């Protein structure tokens, strides 16, 4: 994995976490924690996507398919981690 792909995944994860928080008002952690969870999810989602489908991530190249793969993996990973963290936080409050 190259650094450009990782940066794309982290930024996409941050955006994905904040979008998930925006649309799920009851699970929203606030901008800071949505961003933190999204960053973690973006990194993890990108690594998992790279392991499962290496053709979709940027393995040193910056073609459109690789960039879109990095964005999708990071964004979806960020949203999923933000939702999981929100569910765990909600369960601990009870």
In a domain, 32, yes or no: yes
pLDDT digits (tens, 9 = 90+) for 13-69: 999 999 999 999 888 999 999 999 999 999 988 788 878 877 666 556 678 888 888
Q: Are 81 and 44 in contact (CB under 8 A)?
A: yes
Q: Are 58 and 67 in contact (CB under 8 A)?
A: yes
In a domain, 9, yes or no: yes
Residue numbers of the domain that contains 79: 3-89
Tokens of 76: 């979806």
Count structural domains, the chain.
1
H or E, element range at 42: helix 31-52
| pTM for the model | 0.84
In a domain, 94, yes or no: no
In a domain, 13, yes or no: yes
In a domain, 24, yes or no: yes
Rounded (to 5) percent helix, strand, coil in the chain: 85, 0, 15
């Amino acid at each position: 994995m190259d650094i450009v792909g990782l940066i794309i995944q982290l930024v996409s994860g941050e955006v994905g976490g904040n979008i998930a928080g925006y649309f799920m008002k009851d699970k929203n952690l606030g901008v800071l924690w949505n961003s933190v969870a999204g960053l973690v999810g973006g990194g993890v989602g990108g690594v998992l996507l790279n392991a499962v489908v290496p053709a979709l991530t940027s393995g040193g190249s910056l073609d459109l398919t690789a960039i879109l793969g990095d964005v999708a993996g990071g964004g979806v990973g960020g949203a999923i981690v933000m939702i999981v963290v929100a569910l765990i936080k909600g369960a601990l409050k009870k």
